Amino acid sequence: MTESAGNKNEDCHAANGVKPGRNGMVKNHHHHHHQYQKQEKVYHAACNGELYSRPFIESFEETPMLVAVLTYMGYGILTIFGYLRDFMREWKIEKCHIAREREEQKDFVSLYQDFENFYTRNLYMRIRDSWNRPICSAPGATFDLVERSSNDYNWTFEYTGRVVKDVINLGSYNYLGFAENTGACATAAGEVTVKFGVGVASTRQEMGNLDKHEELEKLAASFLGVESAMAFGMGFATNSMNIPALAGKGWLILSDELNHASLVLGARLSGSTIRVFKHNNMQSLEKLLRDAIAHGQPRTHRPWKKILILVEGIYSMEGSIIRLPEVIALKKKYKAYLYLDEAHSIGALGPNGRGVVEYFGLDPKDVDVMMGTFTKSFGAAGGYIGGRKDLIDYLRTHSHSAIYATSMSLPVVEQIITSMKCIMGKDGTTIGRSRIQRLAENTVYFRRRLREMGFIIYGNNDSPVVPMMLYMPAKIGAFGREMLKRNIGVVVVGFPATPIIESRARFCISAAHTKEMLDRNMLT
């Protein structure tokens, strides 16, 4: 291979999120490094310059063998000690009796499986103090934390009365910094609260459809570049209650293996047949599409009524960005439908914050159902669905989340309207544009500095969700506690939310973070 050909091959892999390692071998989370020939074939289609107008670089370094072995050993030791402690509890030697089932509950059916109970008692409880920490301020770039302590190994907590001030917030989804208690958004929400109150006390179809709801939906449709949009009071329910309204028996849903629980629940409630493809793997998706068209439904082999592809813009545990140009190409080729969840990407990606569609320079009309939430970049609550007008009109009369749920609270609606206008520049300022640019700069800087320090991080270079690998179970609690000692709040994640050997800390970067805050995190 000549030098130019070698560089071309390397650029081709890099453009598709696969980094060549030593000897030109490719490593990622789908394939082992000894499958180089297969990978070269697998990613060849994605090297088409027509699909990607910009570099697309993602990294998913395989867990080192020694680290994997030590991690399994760590869980093994914890499991052995767990059984030992259960034995001691059975014989009433163990002093902490909260873990034991009460005598009056002996004849009740267990709420959880035996292993789930065992894991909660003996592994999760050891590091339970790393989660559910109560804060007592706005979740901005910094927050105040209520200190608590435990005298029974994290089974119960007591408040000490002390408040830890100015903890750097690297855990909230406050991508554009609009989750604040001062500024234009907070002022507007306060004024609406005085005028309309907090609760609406009715559904949209009865007495709960206000002019502010109509204004929000028109603004959202304009922002997304679609014909129409509809807002819902809960982000989770936007997926779980609307997918069953769209799909049903005789449908085939193709779902990414790492899709959010709301997408999984919605797909299951729909009664459709569900098949799962490997994360962000277009070859796996295309194989399922081909098989679906070739073989049809099980037993009858009749054609599927519809085929719906479910994907996310940014995957919140991996930090990866969907290969949307390839998904749309496959959707068109096999005449399927596409449902895109932009919960984490709307506001956080694209030069104007319009999400992963704008990030790749694609046409919003190529996405059949555009879903997203207002809980992250907009600093509010709820979700939306955008698309063709006939689709939205159908959902208004068939969606359980629209028919039976109470309308969105007006102060929340005003928070979304004000922040969205700010992002679009309709407030007459450049605050929104500067926040989008600052988020992009902070993301690139933070990821680069972590790599320079030798940490293994996952995801796309432009993703503000930054998973840093911890691997070993002892590091999950230790990392969270040590960071808090240094006034830095982080989210740590372990099994079963991640694979057992891929425990991690997940940082969420915000436009509200200053370079000094990010540097302080590095120096600790």
95-127: per-residue pLDDT in tens? 776 776 777 777 887 766 678 888 888 999 999
Q: Alpha-carbon distance 47 to 76, whole Å? A: 43
Report the Cα 429 to chain-centroid distance in Å. Answer: 30
Residue 509 DSSP symbol: -
pLDDT at 301: 94
Alpha helix ranges (H) inside 197-306: 211-224, 235-240, 243-246, 261-270, 282-295
- Stated length of the chain: 524
368-413: per-residue pLDDT in tens? 999 999 999 999 999 999 999 999 999 999 999 999 999 999 999 9
pLDDT at 430: 96
The CA-CA-CA angle for residues 117, 122, 126, to 5°, reads 125
Mean pLDDT over all residues of the chain?
Answer: 89
pLDDT at 524: 67
- Do 476 and 494 form a contact (C-beta atoms < 8 A)? yes
pLDDT at 115: 83
Q: What is the mean pLDDT of residues 291-304?
A: 96
Q: What percent of the chain has pLDDT over 90?
A: 79
| Better-scored residue on pLDDT, 62 or 111 | 62
CA torsion angle 77 79 83 86 (round to 10): 110
pLDDT at 97: 67
Bridge pairing between strands 158-169 and 488-489 = parallel
Q: Is the pLDDT of residue 41 over 70?
A: no
Q: Is the pLDDT of residue 503 over 70?
A: yes
Q: What percent of the chain has pLDDT over 70?
A: 89
**173-185 b/e with 16+ CB inside 10 Å = b?**
bbbbbbbbeeebb
Which residues are paired to 218 by β-bridges?
none
Residues 6+ apart with CB under 8 A from 299: none
